[in-house]
Amino acid sequence: MEEFIVKDGKKLRLGYTTGSCAAAAAKAAACLLLTGRRLDRVELLTPKGIRLELPVREAELGAGFACCAIEKDCGDDPDVTGGALIFARAARSETPGVTIDGGAGVGRVTKPGLDQPVGAAAINSVPRQMIRACVEEVMGLTEYRGGLSVVISVPEGEALARRTFNPRMGIRGGISILGTTGIVEPMSEQALVDTIRVELRQRRESGADFVLLTPGNYGSGFVRDGLGLDPALAVQCSNFIGDTLSMCRELGFRGALLAGHLGKLVKLAGGMLNTHSKYGDCRMEILAAHAAAAGLPPGRTEELLACVACDDALRILQEENLRAPTLERLAERIGRHLAAKAGDTLETGAICFSKVYGQLCQTASAPSLLRSIRCGL
């Protein structure tokens, strides 16, 4: 695929989703089955409006069925499914219309709250629409009036799925067939936000009123070792703290508790609700401001500003007996910004920790939120 976008001054090649691959493979398989003609390339109009011509990598015609494969191209977006073959097997069926299912390497939904119901193949709604439209197009052109069953499979899918969020979200046995636009945009933040939304929806539909959030693996480790909770209870929100709080509010949660490393959560005290470094690195500036307000002498404040890691800054505060008052100020300001984002219907709190010093501080609401989470409310 030779479509590009420019991000941060870099020209990046677009790719296409597993959903586009499945739809194109289904179109090729239906054509082979109903006409006997093998297509070298399949033309496909994606929901985004970009027209694709995808090469058919494998094709087989058997007794009453045909099977074709399209290779997944992620463009310049790193993804575990890059290069995987997405197969579609089309067969004549006594059931009218087009029926769609997943075969080997396509996951099965085992928890509520996902795009598909429990027990269904993890082929999301838009890819199902694309597959159906492609197959019905061939059926119309060939004037075929019978039914066709389409089974999507990914030979490497079960192994690939271990490197995705699928096991965590309750999708077992393979990857998901995804894509709302049909196109993969490099470094797509929306894809990550959508994954967080799915996990939050699952928690809400399972009856949870309160949710534990962590930015990443450090937070998950602290949940286990510092809070004594199962890390699987936590939803990883990455850098998208503001977006995650908005989704918690929209889904009707009563409370959200954020547990994370000071190096990330200190940015919240400055009102940065997306903590990715591309939006700025103000960790030492925020720490220095609160430390100075707590009484840190100017010379030591300059030392703190020169620190690279938060643990180095904490050492300076420890030496000046100002760690506790500085962190109390930080926690209060973090709580203020979280509450402003969450609004009146969602109670929020945060617990900050360090790998060297352990738990450092918490907002005023954190203990009650933690009790609610422990009780499974």
Considering the domain architecture, whether residues 203 and 180 belong to the same structural domain is answered as no
Whether 6 shows a pLDDT value over 70: the answer reads: no
Q: What is the pLDDT of residue 132?
A: 98
Q: What string of DSSP letters covers 316-354?
A: HHHHTT-HHHHHHHHHHHHHHHHHHHH-SS-EEEEEEEE
Query: Are residues 175 and 31 located together in one domain of the fold?
Result: yes
Residues 169 and 293 in one domain: no
Can you name the residues that pair with 95 across neighbouring β-strands? none
User: Which tens digits make up the pLDDT trace of 138-178?
Assistant: 999 999 999 999 999 999 999 999 988 888 888 999 999 99
Number of domains composing the chain: 2
Q: Is the pLDDT of residue 1 over 60?
A: no
Least confident of 96-105, 212-221, 350-359: 212-221
Question: Does 176 share its domain with 55?
Answer: yes
Residues 154 and 197 in one domain: no
Indicate the pLDDT class of residue 220, thresholds 50, 70 and 90: confident
pLDDT (tens digit per residue) in 69-100: 999 998 887 788 999 999 999 999 999 999 99
- Give mean pLDDT, residues 319-331: 97
pTM: 0.73
Please give the mean pLDDT across all residues of the chain: 93
Q: Does 68 score more than 70 pLDDT?
A: yes
Tokens 């709080």 found at: 245
The residue from 139, 158, 184 where one domain ends is: 184
pLDDT value for 13:
86
- The answer to whether residues 88 and 20 belong to one domain is yes
Q: pLDDT higher for 375 or 154?
A: 154
Are the C-beta atoms of 57 and 71 separated by less than 8 Å?
Answer: yes
My answer on whether 30 and 92 are in the same domain is yes
Q: What is the pLDDT of residues 231-276, one digit of tens each?
A: 888 999 999 999 999 999 999 999 999 999 999 999 999 999 999 8
- Residues 206, 75 within the same domain: no
Tell me, what's the pLDDT at 124?
95
Residues 171 and 304 both lie in one domain: no
Domain span including residue 276: 189-374
